[in-house]
Amino acid sequence: MRSNGRNSDQLRPVTLTANVNKYAEGSVFIQVGDTKVMCTATVEERVPPFMKGQGKGWVTAEYSMLPRATHSRNQRESARGKLTGRTMEIQRLIGRALRSVVDLPALGERTITLDCDVIQADGGTRTTSITGAFVAMAMAMNKLSQQNKLSTFPITDFLASVSVGVVNGTPVLDLNYDEDSKAKVDMNVVMTGAGKFVELQGTGEDSPFDREELNQLISLGELGIQEMISHQKEILGPIADKITQRSAGVKA
Amino acid sequence: MRSNGRNSDQLRPVTLTANVNKYAEGSVFIQVGDTKVMCTATVEERVPPFMKGQGKGWVTAEYSMLPRATHSRNQRESARGKLTGRTMEIQRLIGRALRSVVDLPALGERTITLDCDVIQADGGTRTTSITGAFVAMAMAMNKLSQQNKLSTFPITDFLASVSVGVVNGTPVLDLNYDEDSKAKVDMNVVMTGAGKFVELQGTGEDSPFDREELNQLISLGELGIQEMISHQKEILGPIADKITQRSAGVKA
Amino acid sequence: MRSNGRNSDQLRPVTLTANVNKYAEGSVFIQVGDTKVMCTATVEERVPPFMKGQGKGWVTAEYSMLPRATHSRNQRESARGKLTGRTMEIQRLIGRALRSVVDLPALGERTITLDCDVIQADGGTRTTSITGAFVAMAMAMNKLSQQNKLSTFPITDFLASVSVGVVNGTPVLDLNYDEDSKAKVDMNVVMTGAGKFVELQGTGEDSPFDREELNQLISLGELGIQEMISHQKEILGPIADKITQRSAGVKA
Amino acid sequence: MRSNGRNSDQLRPVTLTANVNKYAEGSVFIQVGDTKVMCTATVEERVPPFMKGQGKGWVTAEYSMLPRATHSRNQRESARGKLTGRTMEIQRLIGRALRSVVDLPALGERTITLDCDVIQADGGTRTTSITGAFVAMAMAMNKLSQQNKLSTFPITDFLASVSVGVVNGTPVLDLNYDEDSKAKVDMNVVMTGAGKFVELQGTGEDSPFDREELNQLISLGELGIQEMISHQKEILGPIADKITQRSAGVKA
Amino acid sequence: MRSNGRNSDQLRPVTLTANVNKYAEGSVFIQVGDTKVMCTATVEERVPPFMKGQGKGWVTAEYSMLPRATHSRNQRESARGKLTGRTMEIQRLIGRALRSVVDLPALGERTITLDCDVIQADGGTRTTSITGAFVAMAMAMNKLSQQNKLSTFPITDFLASVSVGVVNGTPVLDLNYDEDSKAKVDMNVVMTGAGKFVELQGTGEDSPFDREELNQLISLGELGIQEMISHQKEILGPIADKITQRSAGVKA
Amino acid sequence: MRSNGRNSDQLRPVTLTANVNKYAEGSVFIQVGDTKVMCTATVEERVPPFMKGQGKGWVTAEYSMLPRATHSRNQRESARGKLTGRTMEIQRLIGRALRSVVDLPALGERTITLDCDVIQADGGTRTTSITGAFVAMAMAMNKLSQQNKLSTFPITDFLASVSVGVVNGTPVLDLNYDEDSKAKVDMNVVMTGAGKFVELQGTGEDSPFDREELNQLISLGELGIQEMISHQKEILGPIADKITQRSAGVKA
């Protein structure tokens, strides 16, 4: 039994609130336990220089934490004058993960930027960001679709992420901060609706892990991600159907 | 009659929600119309180098906007690698304003940092930040007081801020973004509960103003600030009484 | 009676020396007491990106202090790698103030950059910079006019600035460094030749001020600014007439 | 059959040259095919601020590529003024991986910095850096040991890394640049001599992968890493014995 | 015959004005033709970290040009966020040159910083800066001496600098901007009162030079420097005697 | 007799290894004693903005040291976020020196970038870089020539560099680190095959030097440079003949 009385394969309460920003093309406020992330999607009718003239779109992400999202206050990266390695790593991960389910030519020469701002952090901020950003991105794609700017819906499958880890010798799903800080193994899993891996990042700095543990962690991850995706489907409603159809078409 | 049907001397709806952050020593989420700012107060048991050894505390502020707080997305200052002049100007203003009502020796060698993060911007983000940050600061002071770390309550008076301006030839209170962008004169007023000015910043880049207009704007500012202070008193409850007592003591 | 025997409404000696730089399109060396600022105006036949294609010109300012302009040496901002908030605030103020009396369409797609470099500082460097930069700008405009590049003279009125403040309980005009460092209230006033306010920035961090004090300070500011403008007229000679004519035309 | 005629489970030729730097406490030049990395270990008798006073050592890494290590010249990060996200990610990975096999208390309050400078890049630079840096670190530890500065040899196990991926539908070991640029799945594996995972980072941005593929890739990784470790043992000679003994002791 | 009618071995008019800054421990405004440099010396009772605890002082220099010191406006290095290579090279040269005639142990654990700010540039700004900075430094040393803080006067000899070059095939002394921009060979010479070389930096990027030309250039440099030193002696008056005595003592 | 038993006019052993990089258009690994520098030449079919449209090419250089090229580890300039003054000075010197023997119009609108990365430093890294970079540049020019992209071979003469200095009162050639750190005078000489000076940079910070010493140092420099050039000719083989022919043609 874990702190908060959760089972090892149990997620914290998940809440997704849509349209929380009056300007963004897509926005969602995601809460997973006490981790709270504001995700907005911005559509711009241009692509970065390295993508120009290819007839394809681009999806990118930025991640940040408010200074007091954590137990003690963190210096702002704007005041430091540069991003930390941790931030760069996370925002590269979010962007890469989202692009894996986007048909970039179908998006056209546009950029969708997902801003994931952590309002409060209690473990799993990067996985929560991916899960929330997917929803904001889908809403933005839907808006483009409603404006008749897209001939094909560009999202090819659902995508969500959870963290798993070995805490007190037991593989568990969705670690909060307390669990994370004493975990021997820490793994982030990103999967599609079809159950395929997009990212798998496991670290055993404090204690290497064997294949048996790896298999258990991955199974927990699959479980948690399917539950996350059902939350996404609920909030997305009819937009979810577009993804399901596109997903089926790809597989057909 | 203004957009949204407001009178020239009417504030937008004001909502203050307390304790919105589980880690900060004080926190409030302030909404003034569609302008939304998360204000947290962090207490640290040290002062900046230039204040060391003086037996006094320090109060400082940082201000930032989420990238999509506005109509079009702004580049993050962390990605730019430096703060804009506008941000620096605003956070210097917030800190200076708050310090005007703090008895720094009574605070002791501690720093209170107010983080004002604009979640959504619709005009008046700097004045809204000051009004909200005052509440977060008062909550943090109260926490220190409850921990018996203070012999005197260090807040000497209430403090709030509003914007005023001349729109379509008429002086109005609390401009939203649309009004602000067509205002000929733009002024930010910061006042204490005792009705004294702490900051007065008026700009007529597009159209200089005369003393008559100045006087009208200031009167509107006084009105709006007193209303803001009554909102502060309501959310602060018993903490407001401590401020009122200290304030009376100072005047006695 | 103040230090140096000045009355409360008396400026320090003001000296303006024109054409002190052999390359700049306009240049003036302004001394107000021991405050000395080199002001140069540079004309460039282009506008910044955000102004392109609007058929309008731009006026901007940069402000800096030599490291030993002050009692103790300040680190260069070039060595720090970034501008301080104070510098940004001041140069934004100078640019905004100057633009308020420039007819940007009449200037055409050109940029005038005013460099205000403080050679020695003894209080009032920002107000002295504005007063001096106006003269340098007028000289540069005159040069453009003589080259037949302008169909209308683009300066619509005179503009100058002074500081006022409450020192030892008395409102005084044009504070030097010693007075400034013990002033309870500090205010910078920028006005036009027509006596209208362009900027009004009052701060009572150490002691809030009431409307009575505000009114006294503003009256002192008006007085000082009219005297500054008479110095500007003297040094500008025939160029002053062009401004006066343009100013009259605007009012007609 | 792969380019260069390699089998899918075959490494490129591996060469390790020791003591290539006359100043460093440990140094090795590692070549894996045409990928060439200079690895040096520097011992300093201090730890970073966040580690002070804990009686433990620290191991960290920095990674860089010479500008012309690649097909076209890359701008130096020193000229850009900041590290790329890729570099930060890689050097965090190398440091974390090495620390997993170091008994930091046994190292004492010292820092070992591993510099991995890629002289020529042909795929797998991060995995090659880890494999080479381990050898340089072991040599530096041995030097400390010979100076009688350590009571226990601090390296608890061997550690090496390889890349694996899916190229043309086939899982293969140790991708060169050409293979890497067309791989659908790309994975970096870091393992200990005992065959446990320290890091597992798989990405399927272009094509998600299933558990079957994951298992095949991991098996290839295990194979390649054991071969890399045998190269490490050969070059380390008697130092390898110290690691083996320490490793056995831990398991005993 | 050169532009301005100068002979090949003739300096431009040289003017040194002392005590031009009310705060600095030493200050001089040096004009060599139309090149004008403000030189201030600041004394601080500390040394940089790398000099601590050695019982020796330090002398360093910073160099900058006002944006409109030149024909067209240069971007400020503070706005660029970093120093140019040219600036770094020049300020390293100035500091190194001045230190060559300072007895650092006699100075004690103090730093003298020479700020050389070019108000107007017309060739030879670095050599003019050295010549002027020497005077400001001597004045600051004298002030320390008068405050009885020094047991031995720390300046061991005079020091000045001039530029020489090959223009239109003729070696000439003290190039102005026009000459400098068409010079085939450009050389800066720094010498002591005793006629020894401290720095010799010759560049023939456009046209290499032979030993014959080198000898002619050096002879011109010796001539010009002795004349510069006589200007220094005149402005320094009794302080010059202290240097002469110290210089003689060293040689005795 | 010097450390290592060298005579005062004797170079350390010099080794040049060509084609050490599989991607660069020219590459050489140069060893002068224990100083080792990797030099690569990169050809790009564009010129920097300030050279555009002039029908001329550009040659530039970058210089860096691996962190552990020296006795103690140096912080990377990429981690510091900016280049040191020393690095800027050196890379400006290398570029300027190389350009002096390149016919830029004959190169056409191309840039050749010479990267000089010091793998191990034992004195003379800047002079060794120049000598090595010349060879890499010649190889890149030859490649362009073989691709029929050049109508005239653009290298007009050989170019090499050595350091000389006064150590223990004796002028010596090619100082290693130990000698350099105790040298009273330090001079870098860059000369052409025709025996003309391109750069001469002598510094006597610790002890000024007279004309007699200068002459001796220059003679040693000439000697060393001619020997360096014979090493260049040997490694360049037939490419050396092209330079010799071009050089003769220029003189004819």
Gyration radius of chain D over CA positions: 18
Instruction: Assess D79–F contact: CB distance below 8 Å, yes or no.
Output: yes
Query: Do the Cβ atoms of C202 and B204 come within 8 Å?
Result: no
How confident is the model over A110-136, as a mean pLDDT?
98
Query: Do the Cβ atoms of D205 and A99 come within 8 Å?
Result: yes
Instruction: Assess F156–E contact: CB distance below 8 Å, yes or no.
Output: no
F32 bridge partner residues: F14, F35
Query: Do the Cβ atoms of C83 and E79 come within 8 Å?
Result: yes
Give the predicted TM-score (pTM) of the model. 0.93
Min Cα distance D203 → chain A (Å) is 5
State pLDDT tens for residues D10-61.
999 999 999 999 999 999 999 999 999 999 999 999 999 999 999 999 999 9
Task: Identify the H or E element spanning C115.
Answer: strand C111-120
Query: Do the Cβ atoms of A66 and B22 come within 8 Å?
Result: no
Q: What stretches in chain C show pLDDT beneath 50?
A: 251-252
How are beta strands B26-32 and B58-65 bridged, if at all? unpaired
Instruction: Assess A184–D contact: CB distance below 8 Å, yes or no.
Output: no
Both tokens of B211, joined, read 């003393």
pLDDT at A3: 76
How confident is the model over A203-231, as a mean pLDDT?
95
Q: Is A125 known to sit in a ligand binding site? A: yes
pLDDT exceeds cutoff 50 at F84: yes
Instruction: Assess A76–B contact: CB distance below 8 Å, yes or no.
Output: yes
pLDDT at A250: 54
Residue contacts between D and F (CB atoms, under 8 Å): 92
Min Cα distance E78 → chain C (Å) is 4
Rounded Cα distance, D195 and C96, in Å: 67
Q: Is D126 known to sit in a ligand binding site? A: yes
Average model confidence (pLDDT) for chain B? Answer: 96
E62 vs C67, C87, C113: nearest CB: C67
pLDDT at C3: 76
Helix E85-99 vs helix F85-99: crossing angle, to nearest 10: 110
Rounded Cα distance, A215 and A197, in Å: 13
pLDDT at E136: 98
pLDDT at D106: 97
pLDDT exceeds cutoff 50 at E251: no
Taking contacts as CB-CB distances below 8 angstroms, the residues of chain E near C120 are: 21-23
pLDDT at F249: 81
pLDDT at C45: 97
Query: Do the Cβ atoms of D211 and A201 come within 8 Å?
Result: no
A198 vs D88, D99, D208: nearest CB: D208
How confident is the model over F104-124, as a mean pLDDT?
98
**Residue from F77, F203, F210, F222 whose CB has the most chain E CBs within 10 Å, to mutate:** F203
Query: Do the Cβ atoms of A23 and B67 come within 8 Å?
Result: no
How confident is the model over F169-187, as a mean pLDDT?
95
State pLDDT tens for residues C9-42.
999 999 999 999 999 999 999 999 999 999 999 9
Q: Is A86 known to sit in a ligand binding site? A: yes
Share of chain F above pLDDT 90, in %: 94
pLDDT exceeds cutoff 60 at B251: no
State pLDDT tens for residues B86-95.
999 999 999 9
pLDDT at C1: 74
**Coil/strand/helix, residue C171:** strand
Helix E125-146 vs helix E85-99: crossing angle, to nearest 10: 40
Nearest residue in chain B measured CA to CA from C91: B85
pLDDT at F250: 54
Nearest residue in chain F measured CA to CA from E187: F200
Rounded Cα distance, F14 and C212, in Å: 85
Task: Identify the H or E element spanning C236.
Answer: helix C211-236
State pLDDT tens for residues B91-125.
999 999 999 999 999 999 999 999 999 999 999 99
C204 vs B100, B202, B211: nearest CB: B100
How confident is the model over E14-33, as a mean pLDDT?
98
Average model confidence (pLDDT) for chain F? Answer: 96
Rounded Cα distance, F115 and F247, in Å: 25
pLDDT exceeds cutoff 50 at E252: no
Q: How confident is the model at residue D4 (pLDDT cuts 50, 70, 90)?
A: confident
Rounded Cα distance, B212 and B171, in Å: 11
Nearest residue in chain E measured CA to CA from C34: E22
How confident is the model over D208-214, as a mean pLDDT?
95
Rounded Cα distance, D121 and C26, in Å: 56
F92 vs E89, E96, E214: nearest CB: E89
Nearest residue in chain A measured CA to CA from B70: A23
Rounded Cα distance, F109 and E198, in Å: 40
Min Cα distance F83 → chain D (Å) is 6
pLDDT at F93: 97
How confident is the model over E109-134, as a mean pLDDT?
98
**Coil/strand/helix, residue F188:** strand
Min Cα distance A244 → chain D (Å) is 17
Query: What is the interface pTM, i.e. ipTM, of the complex?
Result: 0.94
Rounded Cα distance, D234 and A238, in Å: 62
State pLDDT tens for residues D217-240.
999 999 999 999 999 999 999 999
Average model confidence (pLDDT) for chain A? Answer: 96
pLDDT at A249: 80
Taking contacts as CB-CB distances below 8 angstroms, the residues of chain E near C87 are: 78
Rounded Cα distance, E182 and E234, in Å: 34
Query: Do the Cβ atoms of E203 and F91 come within 8 Å?
Result: no
Instruction: Assess E65–C contact: CB distance below 8 Å, yes or no.
Output: no
Min Cα distance F211 → chain D (Å) is 38
Instruction: Assess E89–F contact: CB distance below 8 Å, yes or no.
Output: yes
Instruction: Assess A153–D contact: CB distance below 8 Å, yes or no.
Output: no
Q: Residue D55: which region, alpha, beta or left (left: phi > 0; alpha: psi -120 to 50)?
A: left
Instruction: Assess A211–B contact: CB distance below 8 Å, yes or no.
Output: no
pLDDT exceeds cutoff 50 at D251: no
How confident is the model over E23-28, as a mean pLDDT?
98
Question: In 3D, which of A234, A57, A69 has the Cα closest to residue A160?
Answer: A234
pLDDT exceeds cutoff 80 at F2: yes
Query: Do the Cβ atoms of B191 and C208 come within 8 Å?
Result: yes
pLDDT exceeds cutoff 60 at E232: yes
pLDDT at A251: 45
Rounded Cα distance, D75 and D251, in Å: 47
State pLDDT tens for residues D122-175.
999 999 999 999 999 999 999 999 999 999 999 999 999 999 999 999 999 999
Both tokens of A154, joined, read 């560009």
Q: How confident is the model at residue D246 (pLDDT cuts 50, 70, 90)?
A: very high
Rounded to the nearest 5°, which phi and psi values hold at D243?
Answer: -70, -45
**Using alpha carbons only, what angle is made at residue A138 by residues A132 and A139, rounded to the nearest 5 degrees?**
95
Query: Do the Cβ atoms of E83 and C79 come within 8 Å?
Result: yes
Both tokens of D128, joined, read 């090659």
State pLDDT tens for residues F85-97.
999 999 999 999 9
Rounded Cα distance, D157 and D167, in Å: 32
State pLDDT tens for residues B18-43.
999 999 999 999 999 999 999 999 99
Instruction: Assess C113–E contact: CB distance below 8 Å, yes or no.
Output: yes
pLDDT at D250: 53
Q: How confident is the model at residue D8 (pLDDT cuts 50, 70, 90)?
A: very high
Min Cα distance B21 → chain C (Å) is 29
Q: Regarding predicted confidence, which is higher, E71 or A206?
A: E71
pLDDT at E250: 53
State pLDDT tens for residues D185-204.
999 999 999 999 999 999 99
Min Cα distance A151 → chain D (Å) is 22
